Amino acid sequence: MNLNIYSDKFEPINVYIKDILELDKYDPVMSVVRSNFQLNIAQYLASLNAESRKDPAEEIRKSSTILGSNIENAIEVQKEIYLDIGRKYACTIFMFDLVKKPIEVIDIQLFYEILFSEYHFRQSDAFLIDQSGLTHRFPRYQDIQSNLDKLIEEFKTLQEDSELHPLVIITYFHYRLLAIHPFPDGNGRISRLILNVMLENSVKLTTQFGLN
């Protein structure tokens, strides 16, 4: 696969990257940028589940009413809401810890566990039917670990290629991670979060998240 096919398209981006790297020398400036990024991540994470956008007290009231004012159930709802907030905060902190180190398969798993309280890869085969009706099959679930190991090693090798633009390498990793589809749910969300970790790590750039 020729990953250098669009290398000439990156010149305008390189100008911005150069300016950003220059700004990175001045901690007060970049601390503001990173604070805004962290806020953006927190807002994105808070948008993932509908329940996190609702008032906890209202959720408890509705739950108690539906189940006959069961106070134990109300407490359980409250606990889950606050645990969910805690998981999203922990996920934000973990993102910034990942920026400081090379990413490994265990980091992807831990990322998923922090956010979804699940650690294991999917335990069944999966496929996607696109808008044209074509079926795209993801790798067998038995091959997920080996596929991720190969992807991490490939990513490290590509990083050593001085002719490849960092954005090309990061985009390729993002595409391959989505194509492996390692988890039963949330693959797009996890992939977008890891994409931003890599952008921040390599070129001090981040993307803006939508709510979907």
Which residues participate in the annotated binding site for ATP?
Answer: 185-192
Classify 51 as helix, strand or coil: helix
Candidate list 120, 165, 174, 181, residue with the active-site label: 181
Query: What is the Cα–Cα distance from 178 to 126, expressed in whole angstroms?
Result: 12
Residue ranges at the known binding site: 185-192
Q: Is 202 exposed, middle or buried (0-12, 13-18, 19+ CB in 10 A)?
A: middle
Contact present, 205 and 195 (Cβ < 8 Å): no
DSSP secondary structure, 95-148, as one string? HHHHTTS---HHHHHHHHHHHHS--SPPSS--EEE-TTS-EEEPPPGGGHHHHH
Contact present, 45 and 189 (Cβ < 8 Å): no
Q: Phi/psi of residue 170, each to 5°?
A: -65, -40
167 DSSP assignment: H
Query: What is the Cα–Cα distance from 20 to 131, expressed in whole angstroms?
Result: 39
Specify whether 181 is catalytic: yes
**Residues with active-site annotation:** 181
